[in-house]
Structure 1
C-alpha cells in the first residue's frame, strides 16, 4: 500500500510543479479577474470613447428632440449640428475627425426619416441607439397626430400581460427556473471542460511514461493496477487543487464587487439564490464524471506507444463527453422531456444530464441517488475491466491505434 501512495504522491506533485499547471492556473485566474472587472477596465478608457456625430436637420425641429433622446440612451454619443457640405463632412469621416453623419428628413407620412453615414457599418451600437431614439420620437409624433395621450401610447406599445402558473405541487416558478437555468449553465461548462481536460491529462500521462520506457521500470516494482489508480486519483487531486485556486480567486473577486453585481450579474445567473444542494450535486457529479472518464482514458492511454497516437485513441471518449454536453444544452430549454429523462440514466451522459435535471427540477430524492449509483456501478465495472486491459496494455509496444489491441492486452494479462 505504501507503494500506491508513493505513486499517487508522485503523480500529484509532479503535475503540481509542472510549468504547464502553474501557467494555466495563473492564466485562468487572471482571466477571471479581468472578466469580473471588465466594465471598470473599459470605463478607464471612457474619455476616448466619445462618438462624435454631426447632424444635418432638414426638418428644422427634429435635432433638439433627438439630442434629448440620445442623452438618455447613450451619453457617449455626442451630437452636433453642422453647416458643412456633404463632401466636407465625408472627408472628416474618412480622416476620423468624426464618427459619422446623420441626415434627418420627413417621410411622405410626415414622420421622421434618417440616413446615417459612417466609414464602415461594423460598429452597430451607435446606429442602433440613434435608430431607437428616432423610433421613440416617431411614436410620440404619431400619437400626437392621432390625439393619443401618453398613457394611451404607453398602453399600445407596452408588453402584453402574460402570467404563468405551475399546478404541480413544489414546481418552480418562472423566475426560479430562470435563475436555476443560469447557474446550471455555468456549472455545466465547468463540469464539461474540467472532465475533458483532466481525463485527457490522464491518458497523456500514461502514454508519456510508456513511450519513455519508464513503464518497464515501474511495473517491476509496482503492479500496473496500482499505477493506474494512483494516476487517476493523483491527477484528480491536481484538478481539484487547480479548481480550488480558481474558485477562491473568483470568490474573493466577486465578493469585493458584490454590491456592483447585486441585482445584475448575480441575479441573472442565479448566484443570489444559489442553494447548497446545487453546489453539492455539481461537486458529486463532477468527481464521478471525472473518475468515469479518467478510468476510460487510462485504459485507452495504455494501448498507445507514442504520444502522437493519444488523441486519435481517445477521440471517441471525447465525442461521448461532447454529446453529453450538447444533450444538456438542449435540456436547458426543456428539462422535463422524455429524451432528457432517459439519457440522464445512461452512464456516460449522467454526470451532466442528471445534474441538469437535479439543478433545474424538484426531483424526488431517489432519482439523483439512482444516477449516482449508476455512475458508481459503471466506474467499478470499468475499473475492473480497465485494470485487466491496463495490466496487459502497458506491455504492448509498436504502432497501436486500433481498438483491436484491447483484446491483445487482455490476452497478455491472462497469460501473465
Structure 2
C-alpha cells in the first residue's frame, strides 16, 4: 500500500508542478475573470459614444415615432434627422460622420418601408434593432388602415395562456425540469471535458514513462494493478485541483455581483434543486471517470511513443463523444425510447442515466441496474486492464493498433 501512495504522490506532484498545468490553469482563470467581467471589459474598450444614424424622412411623419421607439429600447443608438440631400448623407456615412443612413418612405399601400446604407452591413445587431422598431410602426399603420381598435390589437397580440400540468403526481413540474436541465447540462459538460482531457493525460503519462524506459523499474517494484490505479487516482486529483480552482474563482467573482449571482444560479437551478440530484451527479461523475480512466490507462500501456497515444485512445474518444451527443439531444426528450435503452449501456450510462435521473422520476431499480452494470464493467476493465497493463508496459516498438492487446496479454502470462 505504501508503494501505491508513492506512485500516486509522484504522479500528482509531477503534473501539478508541470509548466502545462500551470499555464493552462492560469489561462483558464484569466478566461473566467474575463467572462465574469465581460460587460466591464467591453465598456473599457468602447469609446462610450452612441451610434449616430442619419435619417432622411420622405414622409415627414415616420422619423419622430421611430426615434422615440429606438430611444426607449436601445440607449446606444441615436437617430438624427438629416436635412440635406441623400448623396451628401451617403458621403457623410462614407466619411464616418454617421454609422449608417436610413431612408424612410412608404410603399404603394402607404405602409412604412426603409433603405439602410452603411459602409459595412456586418453589424447585424444595429440593423435588427432598427428593423424591429420599423416593424412596430408598420403594424400600427396597418392597424389604423384596417380600422382595428388598438385595444383589440393588444388583446390579439397578448400571449396565449398555455398551462402544462402533469397528471402523474410524481412527475416533475416545468420549473423543476428547467432547474434540473441546467444542472444536468453542467454535469454532462464537466464529465465530457474531464474524460477527454484527463483520459488523454493518463495515456500520455504511461507512454512517456515507457519511452524513457522508467516503466521496467516501476513495474518491477509495484504490481501493475497498484501502478495503474495509483496513476488513475493521481491524475484524478490533478483534475480535482483544477476544477476546485476554477469553480472557486468563478464563484468568488460572481458572488461579488449579487444580481448576477442570483440570475445565474436561478438559471442553472443551483441551490434550489433536491439534494438527491447532487448525490447522483457525484456518483455518476466518479464512476464515469473511473470507467474511462481505466480504459485510457489500459490503452496507453500499448504504445511506447507519446505521438501514438492520441491514435490508440481514439475509440474511447468516439465513445464519450457519442454519449455526449445522445445526452444533449435527450435534454428535450428525456423519455424517448433510445435514451432509455442507451442509459443501460455502461459506456453511456454516466451521462445518459444521470440525464434521466435529473429530468424524470424513474424507478429505483433502473438506477440500481445501471449502476450495477457500470460497476461490473469497471471491475472487468480493471481485471483485464491489469493483465494488459502488465504486458503492455513491456511492449515496445511502434504500436498503435488494438491488435496489440493479444501481444500484451501474451507478455502478461509470461511475466507470471
Normalised by the size of structure 2, how large is the TM-score? 0.95
Cα separation, 1, equivalents of 2:46 and 2:272: 33
Give 1:368 shift: 2.6
Give 1:225 shift: 2.4
Cα separation, 1, equivalents of 2:66 and 2:345: 59
Report 1:220-299 matches (<5 A).
220-262=220-262, 264-271=263-270, 273-299=272-298
Deviates more, 1:283-292 or 1:156-165: 156-165
Cα separation, 2, equivalents of 1:392 and 1:290: 24
Cα separation, 2, equivalents of 1:345 and 1:253: 39
Deviates more, 1:360-369 or 1:329-338: 360-369
Q: Cα gap change, 1:345/1:36 in structure 2, threshold over 3 Å: closer, same or farther?
A: same
Q: Cα gap change, 1:50/1:261 in structure 2, threshold over 3 Å: closer, same or farther?
A: farther
Tell me the equivalent position of 1:400: 399
Deviations 1:126-178 (A, max 9, x none): 11111111111122222223333332111122232222211112211223222
Deviates more, 1:86-95 or 1:205-214: 86-95
**1:16 touches 1:238 (CA, 8 Å); kept in 2?**
yes
Tell me the equivalent position of 1:16: 16
Cα separation, 2, equivalents of 1:413 and 1:275: 48
Cα separation, 1, equivalents of 2:383 and 2:11: 21
Tell me the equivalent position of 2:149: 149
Tell me the equivalent position of 1:7: 7
Deviates more, 1:267-276 or 1:339-348: 267-276
Q: Which runs of 5+ in 1 are unaligned?
A: none
**2:206 touches 2:301 (CA, 8 Å); kept in 1?**
yes
Deviations 1:106-133 (A, max 9, x none): 1111111111111122111111111111
Tell me the equivalent position of 1:316: 315
Cα separation, 2, equivalents of 1:114 and 1:325: 46
Cα separation, 2, equivalents of 1:312 and 1:56: 62
**2:7 touches 2:231 (CA, 8 Å); kept in 1?**
yes
Give 1:69 shift: 0.3
Q: Cα gap change, 1:111/1:322 in structure 2, threshold over 3 Å: closer, same or farther?
A: same
Tell me the equivalent position of 1:361: 360
Cα separation, 2, equivalents of 1:345 and 1:43: 50
Normalised by the size of structure 1, how large is the TM-score? 0.95
Cα separation, 2, equivalents of 1:56 and 1:408: 80
Q: Cα gap change, 1:315/1:217 in structure 2, threshold over 3 Å: closer, same or farther?
A: same
Tell me the equivalent position of 1:164: 164
3-state SS of 1:273 partner = coil
Report 1:112-261 matches (<5 A).
112-261=112-261
Q: Cα gap change, 1:347/1:311 in structure 2, threshold over 3 Å: closer, same or farther?
A: same
User: How many equivalent residue pairs?
Assistant: 415
Tell me the equivalent position of 1:73: 73
Give 1:91 shift: 2.3
Deviates more, 1:236-245 or 1:357-366: 357-366
Aligned-residue CA RMSD in angstroms?
Answer: 1.6
3-state SS of 1:52 partner = strand
**2:176 touches 2:273 (CA, 8 Å); kept in 1?**
no
Give 1:40 shift: 2.9
Q: Cα gap change, 1:205/1:343 in structure 2, threshold over 3 Å: closer, same or farther?
A: same
**1:195 touches 1:286 (CA, 8 Å); kept in 2?**
no
**1:59 touches 1:105 (CA, 8 Å); kept in 2?**
yes
Deviates more, 1:118-127 or 1:44-53: 44-53
Give 1:102 shift: 0.4
